[in-house]
Amino acid sequence: MIFDFDGLILDTETPEFIAWQEAYSALGASLDRQTWAQVIGTLESGWDPWTYLEEQVGHPVDRGPIRAVRQTRHLALIDAEVARPGVRAWLDQARDLGLRVGLASSSSAEWVTTYLKRLGILDRFSAIATGDRVPHSKPDPAVYRLALSELGVGAADAIAVEDSPNGIAAAKAAGLVVVAVPNAMTADLDLSAADLVLESLADRSIPGVVRETTS
């Protein structure tokens, strides 16, 4: 099993959007969810929230103070989050089934490991592949290929668990079966490229998912 991190294990995506939305609002600008959705799961969308903000207000902004307030707010909101439903149960099942567990994230290793430690689940992962270790982030498949290599398994023997179109595209390009579990930010995005879409990991067991995706 190879898990995404942001938005899948811990919902860091909604807090980030809210923090940006509040920063825009403070300057009389607006940021809608559909515009923001293009950056979810990737560092290479080509869309820049600062440029978009300055286009709306019609002039350059003093980014330093805005960044400081936004980052403080973002981290405070994340601190109120807990692991998403079913995550711990799936990690327990994977352990009991003898499955190797990896993580494939576009975020940095420092970011991912900080929150895995906070959740007390860092030791559940045999491989942690992150965006700062590959030349391109999702939807490029490089981070999944790295996770597969470090787990010592082929794509045909692994299932990816994702929450966004960019993540699904990366996992499919690497040859994996993909289970999508959207969060509040991705629930109305097109996740049809996944092999199975669940409202929550708590809705299925790992053996149940394996049966549904390999039958």
List CB contacts of 117: < 8 A, sequence separation 6 or more.
none
Distance CA 172, CA 25 (A): 37
Amino acid at 95: R
Alpha carbon 171 to its chain centroid, in Å, reads 12
Which position among 4, 140, 163, 195 bears the catalytic label?
A: 4
Which position among 6, 11, 163, 195 bears the catalytic label?
A: 6
163 is known as an active-site residue: no
Pair 33, 39: CB distance under 8 Å: no
Pair 153, 136: CB distance under 8 Å: no
- Consecutive H or E run containing 72: helix 63-79
4 is known as an active-site residue: yes
Q: Which residues are catalytic?
A: 4, 6
